């Protein structure tokens, strides 16, 4: 396929907001691709070149792309920059500059989707001395061959600002449309299950193109490829947890740290992945070093929570400590000494080369205890099998007094397989906060910010917060929050938000508010509030409880916890908020319409 057709399809998609229409357009586009083109297109539609967990980045900042564009369009850099500012988007400026050129692009053959993908990939491999110049040259060559619409999309891609609004799940829908035959629903389930283990849409697309649905059986857990983590449901009381689980269940401490999926190969290589599948290996050299000796057999893939601890006393330290180690590039060894951590293992996903994903939890846990040697850095999550509410309550109290945030109940049934990427009642979390009126903290996404006043005037001082609506793939607002932030938090947020600012309200954001700054929904904060009330002005869960009303969080306050482990789509959903609202002790009547 020519890159032009791809860019034109992207252009059309960027103008659609309805998920069903996006899906139809994607199916139409993907149907036309051959086996080699399929993975490239699937990655590029998400603004990537490789699956996200590989962390491959183009590393092309604004200045570099601007230089390349100036070269390719024989424009003056300063003049071009002015157009970028005026149009608010370098993509539009590229379109304009390319359109103004009287001649057609060079006599070279038209760009193909694969050729473009390869050239972009080549940029990521350039390093060392003179790498900036080389990158500019490759980019300029590509842009010189591009038509206006291709240039617009290439520039946006290079800057990492594609914003097509295409979500992974919609791509899976489109693949199911193509390969679903007479039963697209079953195909959709099979494709998602395979994706949850592979985490690589390119691999899924390529297998489907080669051998249809049956080829997906080749997807398996393996070293170096993170699987999407299993998630827990929640219940409001331990009695309710029992009701779900039956006569007996296991309770484990719910540690407040970072979830880590650790892959240890036969030759002792280690890779650590976060809940969002980012590679954390470099950030936790101490854990990576301790892991190979912690097992009687290799390879293994295990899961646990990495928690800051006082190595002298064995006491758990607050979550905030570990966030100092996350996302760092420098001083890694020093931080490892300053903030020592311990990995509390709770699951074994692969033993030898054998997947345990379909093995029930009790056998996985026994196998975990068989293969693991406990030590200073690696231990098991504390656990007990309980069969009545009083012993569950006693275990829960012990968890709290040991510094945990609650417990995770785990089903002991024969069906208790490891459900990659799934939230279900095989695991149920129960936290201390569930006993307060609102019942829980809420993870919400920043969609906009307001300038601070007085002492806070150098930062943004309040934030427009939203919940995710997966049915409509949009973010709808829940509250404005300006309480609970110290100066360091405001400074950090101001810097982060300026980096992800966008010129106008993103299409995926639904709100009646107009903040001083719009941002791409990316940053998730943990909030606490007095209660959820019906609101005529906030749009979260609009119409789900009462026509014309959404939900608002009253007296919201930032808890101090940046949920860096969560992406925007992992924030609480509007349906979860409806659940919280319904479970509130008393329902708060709507505030009057303004």
Between 84 and 280, CB nearer to ligand AMP: 280
Between 153 and 275, CB nearer to ligand AMP: 275
CB of 422 to ligand AMP, least distance (A): 12
Site map 346..375 versus ligand AMP, x via CB under 6 A: x-----------------------------
Residue with the CB atom nearest ligand AMP in the bound state: 259
CB of 259 to ligand AMP, least distance (A): 3
Q: What is the H or E stretch that residue 249 is in?
A: strand 249-254
Between 91 and 567, CB nearer to ligand AMP: 567
Site map 309..348 versus ligand AMP, x via CB under 6 A: -------------------------------------x--
> In a 3-state reduction of DSSP, which class is residue 482?
coil
CB of 519 to ligand AMP, least distance (A): 23
Task: Report how far residue 433's alpha carbon sits from residue 440's, in angstroms, rounded to the nearest whole number.
Answer: 5
254 is catalytic: yes
Q: For ligand AMP, which residue of 232, 245, 343, 464 counts as binding (CB under 6 A)? A: 232
Site map 411..430 versus ligand AMP, x via CB under 6 A: ------------------x-
Q: How many residues bind ligand AMP, per CB under 6 A?
A: 12
Looking up tokens 């070269």 gives 71
Between 228 and 429, CB nearer to ligand AMP: 429
- Which residue is catalytic, options 25, 135, 152, 254? 254
Q: Which of residues 237-296 bind ligand AMP (CB under 6 A)?
A: 252-255, 259, 275
Buried b (16+ CB within 10 A) or exposed e, 178-217: bbbeeeeeebbebbbbbbbbbbbbbbbbbbbbeeebebbe
Q: For ligand AMP, which residue of 89, 305, 379, 526 counts as binding (CB under 6 A)? A: 305
N- to C-terminal Cα distance for the chain?
54
Residue (of 399, 376, 384) closest to 309 by Cα position: 376
Q: Give yes or no for a contact between 464 and 547, defined as CB atoms under 8 angstroms apart.
A: no
Task: Report how far residue 261's alpha carbon sits from residue 285's, in angstroms, rounded to the nearest whole number.
Answer: 15
Between 53 and 460, CB nearer to ligand AMP: 53
The yes or no reply on residue 381 touching ligand AMP (CB under 6 A) is: yes
CB of 370 to ligand AMP, least distance (A): 18
CB of 346 to ligand AMP, least distance (A): 4
Q: Give yes or no for a contact between 76 and 146, defined as CB atoms under 8 angstroms apart.
A: no
CB of 388 to ligand AMP, least distance (A): 21
CB of 336 to ligand AMP, least distance (A): 20
Between 123 and 381, CB nearer to ligand AMP: 381
The two beta strands, 406-410 and 258-264, are: unpaired
Query: Rounded to the nearest 10 degrees, how much is the dihedral formed by the CA atoms of 292, 293, 294, 297?
Result: 70
Q: What is the 3-state secondary structure (H, E, C) of 366-425?
A: HHHHHHECCCCCEEECCEEEECCHHHHHHHHHHHHHCCCCEEEEECCCCCCCCCCCCEEE
Structure tokens at 149: 């619409």
Q: Give yes or no for a contact between 260 and 305, defined as CB atoms under 8 angstroms apart.
A: yes
Binding footprint of ligand AMP on the chain (CB under 6 A): 232, 252-255, 259, 275, 305, 346, 381, 408, 429
Q: Name the residues annotated as catalytic.
A: 254
């Amino acid at each position: 396929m020519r890159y032009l057709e791809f860019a034109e399809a992207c252009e059309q998609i960027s103008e659609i907001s309805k998920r069903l229409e996006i899906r139809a357009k994607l199916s139409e586009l993907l149907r036309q691709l051959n086996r080699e083109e399929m993975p490239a297109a699937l990655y590029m539609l998400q603004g990537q070149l490789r699956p996200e967990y590989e962390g491959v980045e183009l590393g092309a900042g604004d200045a570099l792309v601007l230089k390349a564009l100036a070269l390719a369009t024989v424009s003056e850099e300063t003049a071009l920059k002015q157009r970028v500012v005026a149009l608010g988007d370098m993509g539009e400026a590229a379109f304009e500059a390319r359109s103004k050129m009287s001649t057609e692009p060079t006599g070279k053959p038209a760009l193909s989707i694969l050729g473009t993908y390869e050239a972009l990939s080549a940029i990521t491999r350039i390093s060392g001395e003179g790498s900036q110049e080389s990158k500019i040259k490759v980019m300029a060559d590509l842009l010189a061959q591009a038509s206006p619409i291709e240039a617009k999309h290439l520039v946006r891609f290079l800057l990492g600002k594609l914003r097509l609004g295409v979500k992974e799940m919609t791509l899976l829908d489109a693949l199911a449309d193509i390969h679903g035959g007479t039963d697209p629903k079953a195909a959709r389930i099979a494709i998602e299950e395979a994706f949850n283990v592979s985490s690589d849409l390119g691999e899924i697309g390529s297998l489907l193109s080669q051998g249809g649905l049956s080829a997906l059986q080749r997807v398996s857990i393996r070293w170096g490829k993170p699987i999407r983590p299993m998630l827990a449901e929640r219940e409001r009381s331990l009695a309710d947890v029992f009701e779900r689980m039956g006569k007996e269940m296991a309770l484990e401490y719910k540690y407040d740290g970072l979830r880590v999926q650790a892959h240890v190969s036969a030759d002792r290589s280690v890779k650590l992945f976060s809940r969002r599948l980012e590679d954390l290996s470099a950030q936790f050299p101490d854990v990576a070093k301790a892991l190979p000796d912690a097992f009687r057999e290799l390879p293994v893939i295990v899961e646990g929570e990495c928690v800051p601890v006082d190595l002298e006393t064995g006491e758990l330290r607050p979550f905030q400590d570990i966030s100092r180690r996350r996302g760092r590039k420098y001083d890694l060894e020093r931080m490892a000494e300053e903030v020592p951590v311990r990995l509390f293992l709770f699951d074994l996903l692969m033993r030898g080369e054998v997947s345990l994903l379909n093995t029930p939890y009790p056998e996985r846990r026994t196998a975990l205890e068989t293969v693991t040697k406990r030590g200073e850095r690696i231990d098991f999550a504390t656990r007990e099998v309980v069969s009545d509410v009083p012993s569950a309550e006693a275990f829960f109290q012990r968890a709290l007094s040991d510094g945990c945030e609650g417990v995770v109940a785990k089903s002991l049934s024969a069906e208790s397989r490891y459900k990659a990427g799934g939230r279900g009642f095989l695991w149920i979390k129960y936290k201390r906060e569930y006993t307060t009126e609102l019942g829980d903290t809420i993870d919400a996404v920043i969609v906009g910010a307001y300038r601070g006043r007085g002492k806070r005037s150098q930062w943004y001082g309040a934030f427009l917060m939203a919940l995710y609506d997966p049915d409509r793939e949009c973010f709808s607002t829940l509250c404005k929050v300006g309480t609970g932030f110290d100066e360091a938090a405001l400074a950090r947020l101001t810097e982060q938000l300026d980096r992800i600012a966008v010129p106008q309200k993103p299409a995926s954001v639904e709100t009646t508010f107009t903040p001083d700054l719009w941002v791409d929904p990316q940053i998730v904060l943990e909030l606490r509030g007095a209660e959820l009330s019906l609101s005529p002005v906030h749009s979260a869960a609009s119409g789900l409880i009462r026509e014309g009303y959404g939900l608002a969080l009253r007296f919201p306050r930032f808890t101090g916890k940046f949920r860096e482990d969560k992406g925007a789509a992992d924030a609480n959903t509007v349906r979860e908020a409806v659940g919280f609202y319904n479970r509130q002790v008393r329902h708060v009547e709507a505030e009057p319409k303004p």
